[in-house]
Amino acid sequence: MPRILHLGLGNFHRAHQAWHTTRAGGWQITGVVMGNRALFDSLRRQGGAYHLGIRGAQGLHVERIAVHDRLLLARDEPQAVIAAIADPEVDIVTLTITEKGYCLGPDGRLDLANPSIAADLNNTPRSAIGMLTHGLSRRNTPITVVSCDNVSGNGHKLRAAVKEFSRAAGLSLTADIHFPDTMVDRITPATTDAIRAEIEAASGLTERAPVMTEAFSEWIIEDDFAGPRPAWETAGVEIVPDVAPYEMRKLRLLNAAHSFLAYAGLLAGHRYVHEAMADPALRASVERLWDEAQATLPEAVLSTTPAYRAALVERFAVTEMRHELAQIACDGSLKLHERVLPLIAGLDDAPQARQAIAAWIAFVLRRRDTGEALRDPNADRIANLVEDNPSTRALCQALSGLIGLPKASSDWFDKLASEVVRLRG
């Protein structure tokens, strides 16, 4: 049976790509858990199968997903992962490794100084980029590598990262390798005890690794494949010539609003997305953010934007999803670059986008004040910048540089600092 290998076997993949592939039929997936041994052990005990709870207007529907017939734990067996990528039985590699897994610098290129990449160049590779490149270097048959994340231009950036790593590692890539751009969307909260109990009650079975998601799901893939692929178009996936307009719409509307709500919502004392969206002040701010975002979108998706915004309001308001703001707040130094900075770059002034950055900076300072860990790959650099820049304005300028903010005026940073002070109370 045709085979996909997936790097990053977390909740989103199991709610999204695995679900669409199951519906398309005819393919199996080798699932690679990067480092979560508890998840690996749970799935292995269940033969790779799990229950997916789908929350819609009609209530909760539970499906059993049994498309992962092989499992690997990258942390313990990186060479097995590399061998599996090189196996000619695999026609497609998909990845859900989040922004930080790409190890990109602010310029969007592979950061060779990143500790994971630097370690991979001197030892057995353990990062997704390192293992992927080593596996691809051993192939002589065509393969398609599909990124499934919120990185803008993900296919092009992944291709560049793989090529940069191969040059640095002295590897040769001779196979026909395609890296289509993609856009993915399905709200998938972290699994809690309450979610686990609800899915077990609905399925009637003890479940070690359940996933909860929403009824809405979107997957758009550039039509650029090296060989066979599932009939994804029969399972709700759109195969299109150009993903970019859809990707921009999603990043600048859904993802930008999520990031803003995460930081401003947590600062306001909220825990879940639906709570933050029900806050009149935050809801008004989200609408202003969407106005700014809409002004930067390409013509190809402008006619769909009002309906898309209305759908987002409905999705954000679903109380039962219990989508935690703290989950969305992770990795802000990477996410804001993709989600919010394009608004600032594309408009003469974007005060609401500036407020989103201010909310992140105020959130960073709140974490410093409370002693809570900042879940961000740049946490150490951020801590050093906070320490080295005691004035709010200087810190705003330093952190804006970290996330790759385009050149801004002195007045712009004055406004940013003033907003941070206001948000901190």
Collect all residues with Cβ–Cβ distance below 8 Å to 18 and sequence separation of at least 6: 6, 29, 65, 67, 68
Distance CA 50, CA 68 (A): 10
Neighbours of 291 (CB within 10 A): 12
Residue 344 has which token pair? 């600032």
CATH of 3-240, one of 3.40.50.10860, 3.40.50.720, 3.10.180.10, 3.60.20.10: 3.40.50.720
**CA geometry: angle 101, 171, 17, nearest 5 deg:** 35
3-state SS, residue 264: helix
Digit-by-digit pLDDT tens for the chain (425 residues) are 899 999 999 999 999 999 999 999 999 999 999 999 999 999 999 999 999 999 987 789 999 999 999 999 999 999 999 999 999 999 999 999 887 888 988 777 899 999 999 999 998 899 999 999 999 999 999 999 999 988 888 999 999 999 999 999 999 999 999 999 999 999 898 899 999 999 999 999 888 999 999 999 999 999 999 999 999 999 999 999 999 999 999 999 999 999 999 999 999 999 999 999 999 999 999 999 999 999 999 999 999 999 999 999 988 988 888 889 999 999 999 999 989 999 999 999 999 999 999 999 999 999 999 999 999 999 999 999 999 999 999 999 999 999 999 788 999 999 999 999 999 98
> Which residue, chain included where needed, has tokens 């859900």?
96
Please, what is the angle between helix 410-424 and helix 351-370, to 10°? 50
Name the residue ranges covered by the structural domains of the chain.
3-240, 244-424
Q: Does domain 244-424 have CATH number 1.10.1040.10?
A: yes
CA–CA distance, 208 with 42 (Å, rounded to integer) = 6
**Is 260 strand, coil or helix?**
helix
CA distances from 21 to 62, 141, 180, 237 (A): 17, 22, 17, 10
Q: How open is the CA angle 252-256-262, to the nearest 5 degrees?
A: 170
In angstroms, the CA 127 to CA 117 distance is 7
DSSP 144-177: EEEE-SS-TTHHHHHHHHHHHHHHHHT----S-E
